Amino acid sequence: MGIGARGGHNACVTAIETTAPGLPAEGTRARVERAALDLFTLRGFEQVTTDEVADAAGISRRTFFRYFATKADAVWGDFAAHVARLEELLAATDPAQPVLASVCAAYVEVNDYAVAELPLLRERMLLILTEPALLAHSQLRFAEVDRVVARYVAGRSGAAATDLVPRLVAATTRAAATTAFEAWLADQRSALGTHLRQAFAELTAGFPGLLR
């Protein structure tokens, strides 16, 4: 590799079934995600270059950035679908239930993962909440969630989505959910739903344990 050059994914030793240029490229995205997650978990997000991720996935650096807008996006999976599902859950809530309870319930339900998915979720969230660069990036992703929640609260409470209370509910419930995730990551073998419910219970009750 010459000086100043960038090394075009040459002779990728650990490559797993390299794809052809003109092919539909089935599963390439998933393969890149796996490679990225593995490398980031093993050596840390900042210590791994996009060149290495692309190489491990058997594609070029240029192609990596066609699948993911940024290096950080490779750890998020299909987050847009996650947000969309939350929006659907909110739209399908019982109007008889209080607004805040509906939001919390939707959060719990959208995060009710199958057992088989939990290791992957854990790996993702551990990276996102631990690596500074990913934590920073998360703000942009979570902002999409906030907008969805704020719109819902605004619709139910007859306010504008830009008003204080809808934004407040969105920001605080999301903060609570993130904190629950941290607690889940901290103690192995605990249920995510339990932490979420406990966090929302504290929040909606105004932290009754802190009256002193």
Partner DNA sequence: GAGGCTAATGACACCGGGTGCCACCGGGCA
Partner DNA sequence: TGCCCGGTGGCACCCGGTGTCATTAGCCTC
Residue 69 engages DNA in binding (rule: CB under 7 A) = yes
Chain residues 4-43 in contact with DNA, contact rule CB under 7 A = 4-6, 8-10, 18-25, 28
Interface residue with its own copies among 138, 149, 154, 192 (CB under 8 A) is: 138
Residue 55 backbone phi and psi in degrees, to 5: -60, -45
Spatial CB neighbours of 60, under 8 Å, sequence gap ≥ 6: 8, 9, 54
* Gyration radius of the chain over CA positions: 20
Residue 202 engages its own copies in binding (rule: CB under 8 A) = yes
Decide: 54 and 63 in contact? Cβ < 8 Å.
yes
Nearer to DNA, 8 or 98 (CB): 8
The owner of tokens 């990036």 is 137
Residue 72 engages DNA in binding (rule: CB under 7 A) = yes
Residue 207 engages its own copies in binding (rule: CB under 8 A) = yes
Interface residue with its own copies among 110, 167, 185, 192 (CB under 8 A) is: 167
Please report the DSSP string for 106-162 in residue order.
HHHHHT---GGGHHHHHHHHHHHHHSHHHHHHHHHHHHHHHHHHHHHHHHHHT--TT
Residue 130 engages its own copies in binding (rule: CB under 8 A) = no
Nearest to 72 by CA among 143, 136, 131, 134: 134
Residue 44 engages DNA in binding (rule: CB under 7 A) = no
Residue 119's binding partner, choosing from DNA, its own copies, none, with beta-carbon cut-off 5 to 8 A by kind? none
Residue 162 engages its own copies in binding (rule: CB under 8 A) = yes
Residue 73 engages its own copies in binding (rule: CB under 8 A) = no
